[in-house]
A = this chain, B = another copy of it.
């Protein structure tokens, strides 16, 4: 029998307990031993909960319980999660976590400790909720050089953009709806400003580069400037606006950014709606792959954590090698990257001024709206920015994929 301690009995932690208990019979058959939740750490009590007798309020109880084999961390945030996880690993206990902040900040160190101790530190659920993405990248593409990764990594903003498009509602209304449904927090900055997606693309890029990518280095732009007019323009251009976390290698340089992009309607990521997530991976041999599923929610995310727990049990005494060196990857500034931009300007801007600034643009007209809108030729971000700074009357600009 393997004993598990779950840190944090919130949405995901409670989900992990439910997955392990609901599917106990089939899990025991597959693993060859019973996997039991022995302790749950939470500051709260849970009177009436079937697992209430397992709840403890002090991590020391878990630390000092010699029966615990695997620690599940679903507390979120860096502290005290980092302290507890590191202590567990140093004790020789494998850890499964859903915590993107922890992995983005301390992944390399925790992976190294696990390797050293011949145990495991697994974090499938830290990106893409229930979608198997970390494991395929680590153990499913070992014959490939991963050249780019980009995806819809945040369910809240994808829900909002989907609602803005389908129901024609504004950003504020979409946010209110998302909050009512429990998809967005009262303070929604982590989602709408792209910080959540930023941590996740940092993790995926670290795996693709097999070395540390600091999320602080990643240019990050959220969706708060996207308006109903932008959505209408996108429809006319047969495109969709999606918040993408992207990273790619080019001539030995590594780029990474989070920003809303205009994607062609027939791009597979365009069809990813509501709270679903999807990640596009390009390998130099396998070409394009996409992984799609529920990026949030108690049970989907918990399924990924529980699978990591079972991998820890199956691989007792054997480290699953994860290539993620602590050595830092120096990202190349995104101002060097080249792409087209969709630009909206006030009606008083002359075509001549636009042509003189951007060259041969492709005009876009939204009936009933008195302004100038166009798609620029491919240009460096830096050149776009410099040009835009010299112009008055820019209403908004969105990058084209």
**B-chain residues with CB within 8 Å of residue A141 when the two chains form the complex:** 132, 303, 307
**B-chain residues with CB within 8 Å of residue A54 when the two chains form the complex:** none
Check if B306 sits within 8 Å of A23, measured CB to CB: no
A318–B31 Cα distance when bound, in Å, is: 15
**B-chain residues with CB within 8 Å of residue A311 when the two chains form the complex:** 139, 142
**B-chain residues with CB within 8 Å of residue A143 when the two chains form the complex:** 19-20, 23, 27, 303, 306-307, 309-310
**Interface status of A350 (Cβ within 8 A of chain B):** no
Check if B289 sits within 8 Å of A293, measured CB to CB: yes
Q: Identify A131's interface contact among B27, B130, B289, B302, CB under 8 A.
A: B289
Q: Which residue of B lies closest to A302 (CB)?
A: B285
Stretch at the interface among A43-51, A268-276, A373-381: A268-276
**Interface status of A290 (Cβ within 8 A of chain B):** yes
With contact pairs A290-B293, A293-B289 given, residues A23 and B284 touching in the complex (Cβ less than 8 Å): yes
**Interface status of A160 (Cβ within 8 A of chain B):** no
**Interface status of A135 (Cβ within 8 A of chain B):** yes
Q: Identify A285's interface contact among B19, B142, B292, B310, CB under 8 A.
A: B19
Task: Give chain A's interface residues, CB within 8 Å of chain B.
Answer: 19-20, 22-23, 26-27, 29-31, 124, 130-132, 135-136, 139-145, 210, 266, 268, 270-273, 278, 283-294, 297, 299-300, 302-304, 306-307, 309-311, 314, 318, 321, 323
